[in-house]
Amino acid sequence: MKYTKELVSTLIIIIITFLLAAVLIIVAKYDPGMALRSFFYGIFGSLHGFAEIMVRATPLILAGLGVSVAFSTGFFNIGAEGQLYMGAIAITCVGVFLPPMPAVLHITIAITAGFLLGGIWAVIPGFLKAKYGVSEIITTIMFNYIAINIVGILVRTVLKNTESALPYSSVMPKSLSFPLLLYPTRLHGGFILAIVSAVLIYIIMKKTTIGYELRVVGFNKRAGTCSGISVYKNIVLASLISGGLAGLAGVSEIAGVHHRLLEGISPGYGYIAIIVALMGRNHPLGVIISAIGLSALQVGANSMQRQAGIPTSITSVLMGVIVLLALSKNIMFSGILKKMRIK
């Protein structure tokens, strides 16, 4: 019954979203039929479009998993964007400053460095919250701006490609590139990393003592303390894991897509990851599904813009509505579900 209720609620959200999209398109004086055709053609009409969904979903899954771990522990990490940038810095430094080495070792070091630097960047707000009660919402948001501007400084100074006047690093060695999974598309091995990370997070959060303690702290800190669970330790640990996963999103963008550090490597993946975690109910499988769904929405919207001239700003409106409906569906749809005799 639980899964039936979730399925029906999801279908209602999809129907409402498509109806609202049609209204917005008509109000903007565009052809809704043409828009719908171009939307689905962008997603299913070519191998490139289908693969592009997975390319966009990869950093969203990784950052979304990080946000979901933090949220499950009561640490409201709004800083996945900055942590993503720190992961990108880490892999770039590995490529620029370390000597040549076998590809397996090189990419392993880069992944580890990205996880650690992203994690450390999140641990600072985690420590401030656990030790001094400082609001992590404020600190993680501010850390986003700091990280983004650190990238801006680095690509103009120590990491700048000396052969170009433009602010970006040199191209990473081939040993720091994820293999392509579906040639000639951009789908790369980072998608496998994201899926493996989701499996590991599921095991940690649902099947281990560590995950149990993290969830207890998120559910009721006082009860956790009375049970001998350290709130301080678990908040710091959650922030480390959360930031580390967001750091891996930055690693995947460099190793799989851009192959060099530059400003604006993320079109807001860290912020969209918050939506992904909320829609996925902080569950790894839910994060994967919501990340792919939002990526499909973006790819379809880009196709509508190219083929029908419809502004992609409509997509931003729809994403906001989807989040609102997803978070309030138990209240908003309760009457409909009762009439359908779904409990």
Instruction: Give the pLDDT score at 301.
Output: 84
With residues binned 3-state (H G I as helix, E B as strand, rest as coil), the percentages for the chain, rounded to 5, are: 75, 0, 25
Neighbouring C-beta atoms of residue 202, cutoff 10 Å = 16
Burial of 321 (0-12, 13-18, 19+ CB in 10 A): middle
**CA distances to 93, 119, 162, 239, 264 from 87, in Å:** 10, 9, 23, 15, 14
| Single-letter amino acid, residue 219 | F
Instruction: Give the pLDDT score at 49.
Output: 87
Find the length of the chain: 343
Instruction: Give the pLDDT score at 335.
Output: 60
The C-alpha atoms of residue 178 and residue 102 are separated, in whole angstroms, by: 14
Any idea which residue has 């701006």 for tokens? Answer: 145
Instruction: Give the pLDDT score at 139.
Output: 96
Asked if residues 91 and 247 have their Cβ atoms less than 8 Å apart, the reply is no
Token code pair at residue 262: 């530059």
Low-confidence ranges of the chain (pLDDT < 50): none
Assessment of whether the complete model's pTM goes beyond 0.85: yes
The C-alpha atoms of residue 33 and residue 41 are separated, in whole angstroms, by: 12
Asked if residues 77 and 242 have their Cβ atoms less than 8 Å apart, the reply is yes
Instruction: Give the pLDDT score at 109.
Output: 97
Instruction: Give the pLDDT score at 31.
Output: 82
The C-alpha atoms of residue 118 and residue 266 are separated, in whole angstroms, by: 15
Burial of 31 (0-12, 13-18, 19+ CB in 10 A): middle
